[in-house]
């Protein structure tokens, strides 16, 4: 918790930290872990100098409707006096090996806009700033690299990367549009400030069935699921041009964190990940 408080204070977010060490331990090392963590330790002969842990990378697995299995880096931190020794890169390298072994092809994380040193470091590693792209039009058909078989295996196999709620037509109406008319695809994640959270990857209702309250019903059922799992926050993105969707989410009580938080959303793709893991050298 000491390092979590340090990084929160560094980002002027200390008053937003609502979890404690007991919650962190239960959520990461219990029978139903919400995150995974890699740590950097001092050699035994140096432990009297700074304590045992000098850095960590906290992450969790998620899903993208365009590229499939991904990983979210919630936090990467190295104690100040040990920076510049390659510890952060080593933590990312080990994380890349773990996620590539799980079939992930993308690593996503955010960096504060004012942190020019961190921004430059991630660019040097091959990361791409996706902040502007997220705000652009949904013309992403050429980015879809998964198919129905992959989607089925990743969501309904023995090791699911996402969960999904669907809206169906009543049996007597099935000949009109087909069986499914909407879905909400989501996965669980973690915040070192607030604990268990959920990421809404996609909420979609077939056009002719919009305006019937189906989207709100899907979100309502999803809220019940995530609250039952102890989550206190739902995160999602909306394209800037979609004023109707923005207004709808605001009406539901959502807060736009984009301008207030001033963070850049970064992505390390498959090639950069393999290079980082040592497979592409």
Same domain, 186 and 118: no
State how many domains the chain has.
2
Residue 269's domain is classified under what CATH number? Answer: 3.40.630.30
| Helix (H/G/I), strand (E/B), else coil: 281 | coil
Same domain, 267 and 212: no
Do the bridges between strand 195-205 and strand 180-191 make them parallel or antiparallel, or are there none, so unpaired? Answer: antiparallel
For 51-80, how does the pLDDT look when each residue is reduced to its tens digit (9 = 90+)?
Answer: 588 999 999 999 998 889 999 999 999 998
Same domain, 127 and 150: no
Same domain, 37 and 162: no
**Is-contact 4 105, C-beta < 8 A?**
no
Q: Give the catalytic positions in this structure.
A: 249
Q: In which domain, by residue range, is 9 found? A: 2-137+262-277
Percent of the chain predicted with pLDDT > 70: 86
**Is-contact 203 188, C-beta < 8 A?**
no
pLDDT of residue 76: 95
Same domain, 125 and 25: yes
Span 254-258, average pLDDT: 83
Same domain, 39 and 68: yes
pLDDT of residue 264: 76
The pair phi, psi for residue 44, each rounded to 5°, is: -50, -40
Any residues with CB less than 8 A from the CB of 20 and at least 6 apart, and which?
1
| Interatomic CA distance for residues 190 and 197, integer angstroms | 5
With cut-offs at 50, 70 and 90, classify the pLDDT of residue 265. confident
For 187-222, how does the pLDDT look when each residue is reduced to its tens digit (9 = 90+)?
Answer: 999 999 899 999 999 999 998 999 999 999 999 999
Span 116-145, average pLDDT: 74
Span 2-31, average pLDDT: 81
Expressed in angstroms, the distance from the first to the final Cα of the chain is 36
With cut-offs at 50, 70 and 90, classify the pLDDT of residue 49. low
The helix or strand, by DSSP H or E, that contains position 126, with its residue range, turns out to be none
> Quick check: 137 pLDDT over 70?
no
**Which residue would you say has higher pLDDT here, 10 or 160?**
160
**Is-contact 132 146, C-beta < 8 A?**
no
Same domain, 131 and 157: no
**Is-contact 216 48, C-beta < 8 A?**
no
Span 103-132, average pLDDT: 88
pLDDT of residue 48: 58
Same domain, 217 and 120: no
Same domain, 19 and 111: yes
pLDDT of residue 8: 65
Same domain, 150 and 214: yes
Same domain, 6 and 131: yes
Same domain, 84 and 56: yes
Distances in whole angstroms, Cα of residue 248 to Cα of each of 19, 49, 202, 236, 251: 30, 54, 15, 13, 5
With cut-offs at 50, 70 and 90, classify the pLDDT of residue 4. confident
Selection from 5-14, 90-99, 252-261 with the highest mean pLDDT: 90-99
With cut-offs at 50, 70 and 90, classify the pLDDT of residue 22. very high
């Amino acid at each position: 918790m000491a390092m979590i408080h340090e990084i929160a204070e560094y980002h002027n977010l200390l008053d937003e930290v609502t979890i404690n060490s007991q919650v962190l331990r239960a959520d990461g090392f219990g029978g139903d872990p919400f995150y995974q963590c890699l740590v950097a330790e001092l050699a035994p002969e140096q432990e009297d100098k700074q304590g045992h842990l000098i850095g960590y990378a906290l992450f969790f697995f998620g899903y993208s409707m365009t590229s499939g299995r991904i990983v979210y880096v919630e936090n990467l931190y190295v104690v100040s006096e040990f920076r510049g020794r390659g510890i952060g890169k080593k933590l990312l390298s080990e994380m890349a090996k773990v996620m590539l072994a799980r079939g992930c092809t993308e690593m996503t994380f955010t960096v504060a806009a004012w942190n020019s040193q961190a921004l430059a470091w991630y660019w040097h590693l091959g990361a791409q700033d996706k902040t502007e792209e997220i705000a652009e039009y949904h013309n992403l058909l050429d980015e879809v690299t998964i198919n129905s078989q992959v989607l089925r295996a990743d969501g309904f196999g023995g090791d699911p990367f996402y969960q999904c709620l669907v809206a169906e037509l009543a049996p007597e109406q099935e000949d009109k549009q087909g069986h499914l008319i909407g879905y909400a695809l989501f996965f669980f994640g973690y915040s070192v400030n607030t604990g268990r959270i959920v990421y809404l990857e996609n909420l979609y209702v077939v056009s002719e069935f919009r305006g019937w309250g189906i989207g709100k019903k899907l979100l309502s059922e999803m809220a019940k699921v995530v609250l039952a799992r102890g989550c206190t926050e739902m995160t999602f993105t909306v394209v800037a041009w979609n004023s109707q969707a923005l207004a709808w989410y605001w009406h539901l009580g959502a807060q736009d964190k984009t301008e207030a938080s001033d963070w850049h959303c970064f992505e390390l793709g498959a090639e950069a990940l393999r290079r980082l893991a040592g497979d592409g050298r």
